[in-house]
Structure 1
Amino acid sequence: MEDVTIDEPHHDIKAVFFDIDGTLTSFVTHTVPASTVEAIHRLQAGGIKVFICTGRAPSQMNVVLDTMPVTFDGIVAFNGQYCFDNTGFFASQAIDTGDIRIIINWLAAHPEVVCNFGEKDYVYFNHSNDRLQATWKKLGKTAPTRYFDDPMPRAITHETFQISPFIAAEQEAELVGLCSNIRGVRWHPDFTDLIPADGGKPRGIQRFMKHYGIAREQTMAFGDGGNDTDMLAFAGIGVAMGNATAEPKAAADYITDDVDHDGVLNALLHWGVLKD
């Protein structure tokens, strides 16, 4: 078995939360850098818990996680709306069916819009177009399998945790304004993730904080997209990747190198959570 360096804890960090796309995985190589895997092993060897905190659905993660020799201590999925671990802990918040009906009616009036609907074990699109195909191509081998279905009535009769229409910011504002408890978080310019207005990645982190008795100042988070902005502002130490967009960089306590240049490891060394 490979020896793992055990680092003395610093800053009293007890839990580190990682986004997936653009944080763990590279948009260039579509893989997780070896330095990141090493860093996570060292965190765990030092008694620090590591979590996934992503906009992806549980069923869309294995295409990435199966390539990593890491067992995470917990998963925050759907931008905070679905949290679980291997010990039986579970907490979730689905979208209100009244808002789902409003969104579906809006989509019916805009039939050209491609939209993704996220359930626990099933994520599907209402239809496809060139825009969706181009977006999926950019994800490379980390792109999950696409399924297609009719959201009416399925999205009403099955718990739906996230709805992701491929719309511009102006259309997003219009649609959110029609709903009673919805906000959009965006990690990709082509689409927005619609979630409960009182949800988000910080809510998911709080669920695990309460479960494990971890204080806010004992948390650290890594992200790169707009949907990571609140998480980086909330965490005790928020780290934006060098390849991050402007919003998460502005919210972060520190901007590290990009994912392809050991950004995760370098930030952990910078803050003394790991040592050279």
Structure 2
Amino acid sequence: MIKSIFFDVDGTLLSFKTHAMSEKTKEALEEARKKGIKLFIATGRSPKTFEIVKKTLGFEFDGYVMLNGQYCVVEDKVIHSMALPKESLESIIPYLEKEKISCEFVELDYMYTNFVNERVLELRKFLGSTFKPTPIEDPRRSLENETYQLCAYINEDEEKDYFENMPKCRAVRWNKLFVDVIPSEGGKGVGIKKMIDYLGISQEETMAFGDGGNDIEMLEFVKIGVAMGNAGDNVKKSADYVTESVDDEGIYKALKKFEII
């Protein structure tokens, strides 16, 4: 029996076309909650940027797995927190400057960019009102402040060289323009495990919805992993079931199919 469901945000709960959650999805979530099912967010976004999304969703979840699993909160209590290693940040900064790579540095309550290029502008246009421009800062700020994630504007061909210069870290990608850089031992699957262990929910009682490359580990970890119809082929292959797209009420239809609602 499913007792908890984890939802990615961008491309899963929120449409990239409307930048909103459909009323049908909201009705489905409310019906699942009435049955006693715990509902969670599992996103790459930080607490700071998620505040914008939270208003857009208009729905209060039972807990939040943020920063791709590096920061987990339930009932206003932090149950898991994992920042990027300082030595990894110290190693990558000269490389960013040498190769002129734009990168966003994500703290819990602050986010900044070393510089803006065309890839950054393209992503901001893609995300629309769910993302606000970040200030320009010296990346060496990260050596003094806890940094949980980097958003490095590199393509797949550039990943190998990048991570040779940033040990103890790895990439999770949901967009061709950039990768989320997280600790090697992190990820949404890890964050979900921390959450269910804390709440006393078994892995057999979990379900998740996602559409991006950063959702693959999550979909493989839970009992029922559902890929959205708008997900990439690699995401669909990792799922137990592929539903319709976010713009065709994929969440509602999958919850009906599995008799969750």
Q: Which band: TM-score by shorter chain?
A: over 0.9
The alignment covers a number of residue pairs equal to 261
Q: Which of 113, 122, 129 in structure 2 is aligned with 1:134?
A: 122
Give the superposition deviation at 1:87.
Answer: 4.0
* Unmatched runs of 5 consecutive residues or more in structure 1: 1-11
How do 1:105-254 and structure 2 match up within 5 A?
A: 105-111=94-100, 113-152=101-140, 154-254=141-241
Change (3 A) 1:87 1:116: closer
How do 1:29-40 and structure 2 match up within 5 A?
A: 29-40=18-29
- Which amino acid letter does the alignment assign opposite residue 144 of structure 1? K
d(CA) in 1 for partners of 2:75, 2:229: 32
2:61 is the counterpart of 1:52: no
Contact 2:15 2:246 in 1 (8 A): yes
d(CA) in 1 for partners of 2:77, 2:122: 38
Give the superposition deviation at 1:89.
Answer: 3.6
Give the superposition deviation at 1:33.
Answer: 0.8
- The TM-score normalised by the length of structure 1 is 0.92
2:51 is the counterpart of 1:62: yes
Give the superposition deviation at 1:121.
Answer: 0.3
Q: Which of 74, 79, 89 in structure 2 is aligned with 1:85?
A: 74
Q: State the Cα deviation string for residues 64-91 of structure 1 (Å, max 9, x = none).
A: 2112332111111110001112342431
Give the superposition deviation at 1:180.
Answer: 2.9
2:6 is the counterpart of 1:42: no
Contact 2:172 2:181 in 1 (8 A): yes
- Which amino acid letter does the alignment assign opposite residue 127 of structure 1? F
2:246 is the counterpart of 1:255: no
Counterpart residue number, 1:265: 252
- Which amino acid letter does the alignment assign opposite residue 213 of structure 1? G
* Unmatched runs of 5 consecutive residues or more in structure 2: none
- The TM-score normalised by the length of structure 2 is 0.97
Give the superposition deviation at 1:102.
Answer: 1.2
Q: State the Cα deviation string for residues 210-245 of structure 1 (Å, max 9, x = none).
A: 110111111100000011111111111000000001
Q: What SS is found at the alignment partner of 1:66?
A: helix
User: How well do the aligned residues superpose, as a CA RMSD in angstroms?
Assistant: 1.1
